[in-house]
Structure 1
Amino acid sequence: MEGSERLRAKKSFGQNFLIHQGAIKAILANALASPAAGLLEIGPGPGTLTAGLLDDGRPLWAMDLDPEACDLLQRRFGDRPNFHLLQGDAVRSPLPDVASLSIIGNLPYNVATPILTRFMLESLPWERMVLMFQLEVGQRILGVPGTKDYGPLSILSQAVARVTRIMKLGPGSFRPAPKVDSIVLLFEPRADALALEERKPLLDLLHRSFAQRRKTLANNWGGWLGPEQIQAVLEAENLSPSVRAEAVPVANWISIMRRLAG
């Protein structure tokens, strides 16, 4: 397809370019259904999605770390008045200041988790996100209590957003073909989303609580909380003294975080 033949995928950037036409159409349809004022594309590569996003007419910020990709994008789209190129790392580079955003991305697999975590923790006004992940990461985002996939990423994501699976894609949907399957997820802000200032404390609590998954919560909290405080928290949440972190529902985690903060 246009552009993809002229841009060499680089393993150091975690690049695998989407070529599945049905997936391209589905991602565009979901992203553009948003009423957001602007669009932000992460990892546009050769511009497979960029062209369709620009045709919508809203301002589009395209962020890529690869200088070669940025040169190609500038040549292809630099004359479009709604195109804004951002060369940088989506984990830490400044993001556009706009009233609301629809965020789209075939995320580089090697930094997908930190990028999503940033979008959850910062005051970025996203109205929706349509993001692609390695299937294993997507399953962790969708994880439910009592399963091996359930963990800090599941809980933070589900405390902030309604997450919907759009589609699963095999290696043949990309060039070059990765060795893993991929998944496209839709994130929409929850009406009762966890307040921004509470998200980092929740994530800190989760990392401590899941530090050793096979241990009970009481054992993971030992040395941080006293035995009486641990007992009081578990009793207040109607949780067993032998409960493990992976068995605790999202609502309880929010309640525990607030209880400890108070």
Structure 2
Amino acid sequence: MVRWGVSDPSTIARLRPKKAFGQNFLVNEGAIRTIVDAALASPAPRLLEIGPGPGVLTERLLADGRPLWAVDLDPEAIALLRERFAANPHFHLLEGDAVRMPLPEGEAWSVVGNLPYNAATPILARLLTEGIPWDRMALMFQLEVAQKLMGVPGTKAYGPLSVLAQLCARLTRLVKLGPGSFRPAPKVESAVVLFVPRGDAPSLAERKVLLSVLHRSFAHRRKTLANNWQGALPTEALTRAGLDSTLRAEVLAPPIWLAATRHLLTHHPEVFPS
């Protein structure tokens, strides 16, 4: 769901919520302040906002004085944002899909985003695997996705997204929001998650292989690693990589997955065609 903060009802009224974009605008003032404060606490020289919607959050971010790039797919939102902020020399508008559109190269970003549910995972995966420089990210997700990001081994929420995110960043849930925090009210709860990059995060090359390892290992959650890797790697190779082939993927902690990925990348590169 795309949900952006706005405290002025007239601004909400100017942008018609569209089901196709899953738009629900945030009206919880405390949550708005929390998101803005988290983003501006970063020393990054640039701001990147994904899904700015009516732009009141944009206005608060621009008040900090740093250049801001805003990415939105909704033509009506683009028109409203252009009308409101085109005269601001720090405002840069990008119309397109945040999953795939090119982003300006340069220094690190502080990223803010309310991610649509059907695109949240690919947008996050892009931010984590494509070398887009960021110092901090404050991102809104449906609560179920936030729980997956912060899932712990042995739980239903824990999976590939948990491992990738936790190896790349330190995660903190900043706020949990009910449907009443938005207009119109969605049918689900939401949460804002703060990402701060880890100094010991895997390299970009390792992250791409890590995802391949995880998707294969979690392909059938109720099956053992030996069954999920059958036909690709023998159990002996999994054992040498530090993976007990008799276990299910969901019980292994992120550091084990990173060590295994590094071993497999070195000793079995043929399994991961470039």
Q: Mean Cα displacement is larger for which, 94-103 or 131-140?
A: 94-103
Q: Write the distance in 2 (CA, Å) between the matches of 1:168 and 1:135.
A: 8
1:29 corresponds in structure 2 to 37
Q: Mean Cα displacement is larger for which, 38-47 or 11-20?
A: 11-20
**Pair 1:195 & 2:203 matched:** yes
Question: Which amino acid in 1 is paired with 2:154?
Answer: G
Map 1:212-251 → 2, pairs under 5 A: 212-233=220-241, 237=242, 240-251=244-255
2:72 corresponds in structure 1 to 64
The CA deviation at 1:38 is: 0.5
Q: Secondary structure at the match of 2:65?
A: coil
Do 1:209 and 1:217's aligned partners in 2 also have CA atoms closer than 8 Å?
A: yes
Map 1:41-80 → 2, pairs under 5 A: 41-80=49-88
2:261 corresponds in structure 1 to 257
Q: Write the distance in 1 (CA, Å) between the matches of 2:115 and 2:239.
A: 42
The CA deviation at 1:231 is: 4.0
RMSD of aligned Cα (Å): 1.1
Q: 1:170 to 1:253 in 2, by over 3 A?
A: same
The CA deviation at 1:39 is: 0.3
2:141 corresponds in structure 1 to 133
Question: Which amino acid in 1 is paired with 2:144?
Answer: E
Do 2:238 and 2:244's aligned partners in 1 also have CA atoms closer than 8 Å?
A: no
Contiguous gaps of at least 5 residues in structure 1: none
The CA deviation at 1:9 is: 1.1
The CA deviation at 1:3 is: 1.7
- The total of aligned residue pairs comes to 258
Question: Which amino acid in 2 is paired with 1:20?
Answer: N
**Pair 1:15 & 2:23 matched:** yes
**Pair 1:208 & 2:212 matched:** no
Quick one: percent identity of the two aligned structures? 62
The CA deviation at 1:14 is: 2.0
Do 1:40 and 1:102's aligned partners in 2 also have CA atoms closer than 8 Å?
A: yes
Question: Which amino acid in 2 is paired with 1:244?
Answer: R
Do 1:14 and 1:110's aligned partners in 2 also have CA atoms closer than 8 Å?
A: no
2:128 corresponds in structure 1 to 120
The CA deviation at 1:230 is: 3.2
Q: Write the distance in 2 (CA, Å) between the matches of 1:192 and 1:171.
A: 37
Q: Write the distance in 1 (CA, Å) between the matches of 2:44 and 2:14.
A: 32
Question: Which amino acid in 2 is paired with 1:34?
Answer: S
Deviation above 4 Å: which 4+ runs of structure 1? none
Do 2:235 and 2:245's aligned partners in 1 also have CA atoms closer than 8 Å?
A: no
Q: Write the distance in 2 (CA, Å) between the matches of 1:203 and 1:229.
A: 18
Q: Write the distance in 2 (CA, Å) between the matches of 1:16 and 1:185.
A: 18
TM-score for the superposition, normalised by structure 1: 0.96
The CA deviation at 1:240 is: 4.2
Q: 1:8 to 1:240 in 2, by over 3 A?
A: same
Q: Secondary structure at the match of 1:3?
A: helix
Give deviations 1:9-55, integer Å, cap 9, x for gaps: 11111211111110000100010011001000000000131010010
TM-score for the superposition, normalised by structure 2: 0.92
Q: Mean Cα displacement is larger for which, 165-174 or 104-113?
A: 104-113
**Pair 1:100 & 2:108 matched:** yes
Question: Which amino acid in 1 is paired with 2:223?
Answer: K
